[in-house]
Amino acid sequence: MRCNWKVLLVKTSLWLLSEVVLNICGTDTMADYSEFLSAQQELALGNSGPTVTLVA
């Protein structure tokens, strides 16, 4: 598999620059926390498993 190194370098540089700018503004922490909360919610929903109800 071949990789276009120029495109990879540009994308990585833009990502790193945006992380630095967001971190300076203080919004990167809020974005990371919201991703953490959504991941926790997905884990909670995924671990609930099937529910069996017995009717007598």
Q: pLDDT-based confidence at 47, cuts 50/70/90? A: low
pTM above 0.85, yes or no: no
| Rounded-to-integer distance, Cα 4 and Cα 15, Å | 17
* Length of the chain (residues): 56
**Region 31-54: what's the mean pLDDT?**
73
Domain hosting residue 19, numbered range: 5-46
Position 35 in a domain: yes
Q: Give residue 49's pLDDT.
A: 59
Whether 51 is in a domain gets the answer: no
* Confidence band, pLDDT 50/70/90 cuts, at residue 36: confident
Phi and psi at 18, nearest 5°, equal -65, -35
Q: Does the residue 12 lie in any domain?
A: yes
- State the average pLDDT for the chain: 79
Total number of domains in the chain: 1
Residue 22 lies in a domain: yes
